[in-house]
Structure 1
Amino acid sequence: MAEEPDGARRDEGELALAWDALVATARRTVTDGLVVGTSGNVSVRVGDTVLVTPSGVPYDELTPDDLVAVGLDGERRAGTLKPTSELPMHLAVYRATPARAVVHTHAVHATAVSTLVPELPLIHYMAAALGGPVRVAPYATYGTERLAGNVLGALEGRTGCLLQNHGTLTYGDSLAAAYDRTAQLEWLCRVWLTASSHPRLAPALLTRDQVREVEEKLRGYGQRG
C-alpha cells in the first residue's frame, strides 16, 4: 500500500486543527448566549478550502469525524454531513473580502436592534472595531443568494453587520477576531437598547469623525513589537 505524501498529511493535519478551533468557537457562541440550539453558524478558510458547521447538528455533538469542507465554489471537499444552510452567505463573504473566518449568530440584542433601525446608532466608540457605523442588511430569506448579496452591501467598508429580523455576521483574519467582533456587536446593541429605554431621555451619540479618530488609534492598539 502506497504511503500518503507528506504534503497531503500536512494538509489533513492543518484542516483537523482548524476544525477543532471552529468547533470550539461554535460552542462558545452557545455558552455565551449568542445562539440557541443550532441557530447561527461558523466557518474558517484554510487556503482555498472553507470549513463550516453542518446543518442541524448541536455543536456539543460534533466530533473530528464530522468535518465539513467545501471549495470557494461550494463543491464538497471533505465530510458527509450537509453544510449549514447559510453556506451561500459565508462563501460570498470569502469571495468578496479578505476574511479568514466568519461568525453568524442570532444574538438577542443585535436581532432586536435589526428590527428597529437601518444602522446601529453610534452609541460607543467601539463601533470603530467594526469599521464604523454598523449597517443593517435588508431582510431576505435565510440561505438565499439574495441574503448573501444584501449582506455584502451592508459589509462594504465594514467587518460586521446586522441582518434585519435575523441576527449578525462578522468576519476577521482569524476565528478569534471574528468572534470578538460578534461579541462587541452584541454588546453595542445591548448598550443602545438600554440607553434608549429611558422614557424621557435620549442617549448622546458620537459623530462619525469621533469614531474615525478611534479607528486610527485602534490600528496601534495592543502589544506590538
Structure 2
Amino acid sequence: MLLEQERRDVCLTARAIAQHPGSAPGEAGTVSVRSGDLVVVTPHGLPLDQIQPHDCPVMSLDDRMLEGRRDPAAETTLHMAVHRRAAEYGRETTAVVNAFTADTVAVSSVLAELPPIHHRAAALGGAITVTPYTLYGTGDIADQAVKALKGRDAALLADHGGIVLGRSLEHALENLRLLDWLSTAYLRARQLGEPRAISEDELDQVRQRDTYGWAGPDPFSY
C-alpha cells in the first residue's frame, strides 16, 4: 500500500478534528499530507472519525489518483493547489487541513480579515485574510485560498471555515487549533467592544522576541 504510514497519520488527524469542540458533524473538513510528489488526502463521503487508511486516496501532484478505495474529498482541488504552490516555492509545508468549526465559520461569514488581537497570531503570519465567497470544491476557491495564504500559515474561507498549513500534520493541527482559538477570542472580545488589534510593528517585535528564550536577548551581544 502506497504511503501506508502517511495514510494512518491522516486518519489520526481526521479523528482529532472530528473530536475538536465546535467541529461540524460528518465530513467536517479535509486533511492532506505530501511526501515528495505524492499526496494522501481524506476521502469523499465518510465522516472524519470513520476513515480507515485504505479509504484514503493517494494523488500525484498533477491530480492523478494512484491508489485508494474511495474517491478524493471534494476539497482535494483546493489541497492540491496549495501543495503545488508550496512545492514551487520550496516552503516547508507538507500538510494542509481545512475544517468547519463554529467559530471560524462565524468569523468568516462577517469579517474581511481576522485582526491579530493576541501575540500568538504572529505564529500564523499576523492578520488572517478572509477570501471572497466561492463554491467549495472548485478551482475558484482554490485560487482564492492560494492568494490568501501567501506569507501566511492560515486563511479563512468565507462562509466555509478555516484552512491551515503545517510542516507536519501535527503542526497543521496545532495551527488549526490556534486559528480556532483566535476566532473564539475575537468573538468574545466583540461582545465587550471594539477589540484592539496588534500592529505589524508590534508583531515584528513578537517575532524577534520569539527567537530568544525566557531571558530575552543577550545584553552582552551588542
**Is 1:176 aligned with 2:170?**
yes
**Is 1:187 aligned with 2:169?**
no
CA contact (8 A) 1:50 1:69 kept: yes
Residue of structure 1 equivalent to 2:77: 88
Residue of structure 2 equivalent to 1:56: 45
Q: Note closer, same or farther for the CA distance 1:167–1:129 as it changes in structure 2 (3 Å cut).
A: same
The one-letter amino acid paired with 1:53 is T
Give the root-mean-square deviation of aligned CA atoms: 1.6
CA contact (8 A) 1:135 1:161 kept: yes
Residue of structure 2 equivalent to 1:8: none
Q: Which among 202, 207, 210 is matched to residue 194 of structure 2?
A: 202
Residue of structure 1 equivalent to 2:31: 42
The one-letter amino acid paired with 1:50 is V
Q: Which among 125, 134, 138 is matched to residue 131 of structure 1?
A: 125
Structure 1 unaligned blocks of 5 or more: 1-11
The one-letter amino acid paired with 1:207 is S
Secondary structure, aligned partner of 2:114 = coil
CA contact (8 A) 2:11 2:53 kept: no
The one-letter amino acid paired with 1:184 is L
**Is 1:211 aligned with 2:200?**
no
Q: What is the CA-CA distance between 1:212 and the residue it aligns to?
A: 1.8
Residue of structure 2 equivalent to 1:7: none
Secondary structure, aligned partner of 2:113 = coil
> In structure 2, what is the Cα distance between the partners aligned to 1:130 and 1:221?
20
The one-letter amino acid paired with 1:54 is P
Q: Which among 15, 27, 45 is matched to residue 15 of structure 2?
A: 27
> In structure 2, what is the Cα distance between the partners aligned to 1:47 and 1:146?
26
**Is 1:77 aligned with 2:29?**
no
> In structure 1, what is the Cα distance between the partners aligned to 2:213 and 2:163?
23
Residue of structure 1 equivalent to 2:112: 118
> In structure 1, what is the Cα distance between the partners aligned to 2:76 and 2:168?
18
Q: What is the CA-CA distance between 1:59 and the residue it aligns to?
A: 2.7
Q: What is the CA-CA distance between 1:70 and the residue it aligns to?
A: 0.6
> In structure 2, what is the Cα distance between the partners aligned to 1:149 and 1:187?
26
Given the two structures, how large is their TM-score scaled by the length of structure 1? 0.87
Secondary structure, aligned partner of 2:112 = coil
Q: How many residues align?
A: 208
Which is worse superposed, 139-148 or 93-102?
93-102
Structure 2 unaligned blocks of 5 or more: 215-222
> In structure 1, what is the Cα distance between the partners aligned to 2:156 and 2:43?
22
CA contact (8 A) 2:18 2:28 kept: no
> In structure 2, what is the Cα distance between the partners aligned to 1:217 and 1:18?
34
CA contact (8 A) 2:60 2:66 kept: yes
The one-letter amino acid paired with 1:156 is K
Runs of 4+ with >4 A deviation? 219-222
The one-letter amino acid paired with 2:204 is R
Residue of structure 2 equivalent to 1:149: 143
Deviations 1:50-88 (A, max 9, x none): 000001112332223223101011101111301000011
CA contact (8 A) 1:29 1:35 kept: no
Residue identity over aligned pairs, in percent, reads 36
